[in-house]
């Protein structure tokens, strides 16, 4: 069982870590477009922006339903990152427990 479960947990933890960076990139891209730092009519910028939007918006939209409006501040990416960090910590503890119990 450990042969499958340990690599699966490691992969899930890595995927969560990559997704955290995608959320951070989405926030930065939104700021860059909002402050007219990047040209939003550039095809590459449009592709990156579309990818980040499609990767993050379905989850962020669900989180926004439960958050109060704070005068233009969107805290949903912060809440999502905290949730993802929590999931990583739970998976890490589970992995540690599997390794320690498996070595006894």
* pLDDT the model gives residue 3: 83
What three-state secondary structure class fits 82? helix
- Distance between CA atoms of residues 52 and 26, nearest Å: 5
What three-state secondary structure class fits 104? coil
Closest C-alpha to 30, from 55, 6, 65? 55
Per-residue pLDDT, averaged over 25-29, amounts to: 96
Could you read off the pLDDT of 30-86 as tens digits, one per residue? 999 989 999 888 999 999 999 999 999 999 999 999 998 788 889 999 999 999 999
């Amino acid at each position: 069982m450990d042969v499958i479960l340990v690599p699966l947990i490691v992969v899930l933890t890595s995927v969560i870590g990559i997704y955290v960076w995608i959320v951070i990139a989405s926030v930065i891209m939104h700021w860059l477009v909002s402050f007219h730092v990047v040209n939003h009519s550039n095809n590459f910028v449009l592709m990156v922006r579309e990818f980040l939007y499609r990767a993050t918006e379905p989850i962020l939209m669900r989180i926004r339903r439960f958050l109060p409006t704070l005068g233009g501040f969107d805290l949903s990416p912060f809440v999502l990152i905290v949730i993802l960090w929590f999931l990583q910590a739970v998976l890490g503890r589970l992995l540690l427990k599997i390794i320690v119990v498996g070595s006894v």
